[in-house]
């Protein structure tokens, strides 16, 4: 099925990277197969009320057994990049110690299949699925985290570095530290500053150290890490709302990228939440250890956010004014659709200075599309991609070195605490039968990339 194209992939040039992204915990399944250890999501999903519909990631998309078929779909849709993550507990079941040979063999087969099909593998080292055994000893809050992460990255680099040259160290560190160690909404379900602040600091150290390890062990490596960025706008121009937006922006957007760039943790006046992290800024060794000269920054944007002052909210003293309340265009997740904001976010990251290249390592939307007579007519998703890709092209034409766009995601999958209800895929998944059906948005990409 052909669609009218508002833009052409040819406009981006022949070297622009078009890909899709998945994650091990959301796609692989086979949670207890071939020696894999449990992850924090295997445990968290067993807790009543934590995952919508009582969903569990045990089978997920069965990618572990169906990876060849799924990679053929990636190829058929015209993509040239396949981004996936490595399950830490599949190769190191206890997080440290012994290496699981069956897990290593699986990723070798997956990488080899990518290369055989002409797909460039982009490997994410940590996409939120910490081994459960490490969480029992504190997880990301533990002072041993850097040692554990060093072991994991070293094994991956030594095993796969001759085949894989493109590496992503962490996926959205603000996501897994805030949702998992502050708000308790994601695995491992911890709450409070006593968990959040050490998790943040350890993640900041690990993302830089991971880069250094890959640099030292992988010849001609192309190394990045990913950050979620959301433009934060005040609900009114009143000073209290504008200050609230600055506080939220510091947490959502600045907290991890500024240490990478050698600036230490961000400063915001009269924001006590950051005071304990600022103590690390006074120690030069920490500023240096959190800094790494990445080859690219992965930018992931799903929504803009509007906030207002709210003294009842701890620490931030801010609350969101939802897109649905403001009657703004939004996805079925309630997230605002704002391609102009996406453009401004790309420009902002580039204007930081010190960023060599930007890749949009995730971009996509959840809409309540349905399979009807073998067809998923998801026109809203197609329109979303058209808007956002057009905004990216505008930034590129204005001199931003943005050189890749990876759609989230290939198939509908286990979407964390949303379970299997929130469908972001270009391919519809029947969770009971594992039947894949290409959505019209998938066909849109196929046609869009024919000019590529």
Question: Has 133 been annotated as catalytic?
Answer: no
Point out the catalytic residue in the list 172, 209, 231, 336: 172
**pLDDT of 443 strictly over 60:** yes
Question: Can you give the pLDDT at residue 451?
Answer: 65
**pLDDT of 281 strictly over 80:** no
The Cα-based distances of 449 to 14, 120, 343, 361, 384 in angstroms read 11, 16, 21, 17, 16
How far is residue 294's CA from residue 53's CA, in Å, rounded to a whole number?
40
Least confident of 11-20, 271-280, 302-311, 348-357: 271-280
Per residue in 175-195, pLDDT (tens digit) is 999 999 999 999 999 999 999
Per residue in 409-441, pLDDT (tens digit) is 999 999 999 999 999 999 999 999 999 999 999
Per residue in 311-341, pLDDT (tens digit) is 999 999 999 999 999 999 999 999 999 999 9
Residue 1 pLDDT level (bands cut at 50, 70, 90): very low
**pLDDT of 2 strictly over 80:** no
- Domains present along the chain, CATH in parentheses: 9-451 (3.20.20.80)
Note the pTM of the prediction, 2 decimals.
Answer: 0.97
Point out the catalytic residue in the list 28, 133, 209, 362: 362
* Tokens standing for residue 452: 């590529």
Question: Has 231 been annotated as catalytic?
Answer: no
Q: In the chain, pLDDT over 70 holds for what percent of residues?
A: 97
**pLDDT of 305 strictly over 70:** yes
**pLDDT of 202 strictly over 80:** yes
Rounded mean pLDDT, 282-300: 91
Per residue in 377-390, pLDDT (tens digit) is 999 999 999 999 99
In three-state form (DSSP H/G/I as H, E/B as E, the rest C), the secondary structure along the chain is: CCCCCCCCHHHHCCCCEEEEECCHHHHCCCCCCCCCCCEHHHHHCCCCCCCHHHCCCCCCCCHHHHHHHHHHHHHHCCCCEEEEECCHHHHCCCCCCCCCHHHHHHHHHHHHHHHHCCCEEEEEEECCCCEHHHHCCCHHHCCCHHHHHHHHHHHHHHHHCCCCCEEEEECCHHHHHHHHHCECCCCCCCECHHHHHHHHHHHHHHHHHHHHHHHHHCCCCEEEEEEECCCEEECCCCHHHHHHHHHHHHHHHHCCHHHHCCCCCCCCCCCHHHHHHHHHHCCHHHHHHCCCCCCEEEEECCCCEEEEECCCCCCCCEEECCCCCCCCCECCCCCECCHHHHHHHHHHHHHCCCCCCEEEEEECCCCCCCCECCECCCHHHHHHHHHHHHHHHHHHHCCCCEEEEEEECCECCCCHHHCCCCCCCCEEECCCCCCEEECHHHHHHHHHHHHC
Per residue in 26-42, pLDDT (tens digit) is 999 999 999 999 999 99
């Amino acid at each position: 099925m052909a669609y009218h194209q508002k833009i052409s992939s040819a406009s981006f040039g022949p070297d622009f990277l078009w890909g899709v992204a998945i994650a091990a915990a959301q796609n692989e399944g086979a949670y207890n197969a071939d020696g894999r250890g449990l992850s924090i999501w295997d445990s968290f999903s067993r807790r009543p009320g934590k995952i919508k519909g009582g969903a569990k990631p045990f089978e997920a998309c069965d990618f572990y057994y169906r990876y060849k078929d799924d990679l053929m779909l990636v190829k058929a849709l015209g993509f040239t990049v396949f981004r996936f993550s490595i399950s830490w507990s599949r190769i190191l079941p206890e997080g440290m110690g012994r290496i699981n040979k069956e897990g290593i063999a699986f990723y070798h087969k997956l990488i080899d299949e990518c290369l055989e099909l002409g797909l460039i593998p982009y490997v994410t080292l940590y996409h939120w699925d910490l081994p459960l055994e490490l969480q029992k000893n504190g997880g990301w809050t533990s002072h041993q985290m850097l040692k554990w992460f060093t072991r994991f990255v070293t094994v991956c680099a030594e095993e796969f570095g001759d085949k894989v040259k493109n590496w992503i160290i962490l996926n959205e560190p603000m996501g897994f530290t805030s949702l998992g160690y502050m708000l308790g909404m994601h695995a491992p379900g911890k709450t409070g500053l006593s968990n959040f602040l050490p998790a943040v600091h350890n993640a900041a150290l690990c993302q830089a150290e991971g880069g250094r390890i890959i640099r030292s062990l992988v010849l001609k490596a192309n190394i990045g890490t990913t950050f979620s960025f959301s433009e934060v706008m005040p609900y009114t121009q009143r000073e209290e709302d504008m200050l609230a937006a600055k506080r939220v922006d510091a947490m959502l957007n600045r907290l991890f990228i500024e240490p990478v760039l050698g600036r230490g943790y961000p400063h915001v006046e009269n924001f006590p939440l950051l005071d304990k992290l600022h103590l690390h800024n006074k120690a030069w060794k920490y500023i240096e250890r959190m800094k790494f000269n990445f080859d690219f920054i992965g930018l992931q944007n799903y929504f803009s956010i509007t906030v207002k002052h709210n003294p009842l909210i701890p620490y931030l003293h801010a609350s969101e004014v939802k897109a649905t309340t403001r009657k703004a265009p939004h996805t079925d997740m309630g997230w605002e659709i704002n391609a102009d904001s996406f453009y401004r976010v790309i420009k902002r990251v580039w204007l930081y200075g010190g960023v060599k290249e930007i890749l949009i390592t995730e971009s996509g939307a959840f809409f309540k599309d349905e399979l009807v007579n073998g067809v998923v007519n998801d026109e809203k998703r197609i329109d979303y991609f058209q808007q956002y890709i057009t905004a990216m092209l505008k930034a590129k034409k204005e001199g931003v070195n943005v050189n890749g766009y990876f759609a989230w995601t290939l198939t509908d999958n286990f979407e964390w605490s949303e379970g299997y209800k929130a469908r972001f895929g270009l391919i519809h998944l029947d969770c009971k039968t594992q039947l894949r059906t290409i959505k019209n948005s998938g066909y849109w990409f196929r046609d869009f990339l024919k000019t590529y």
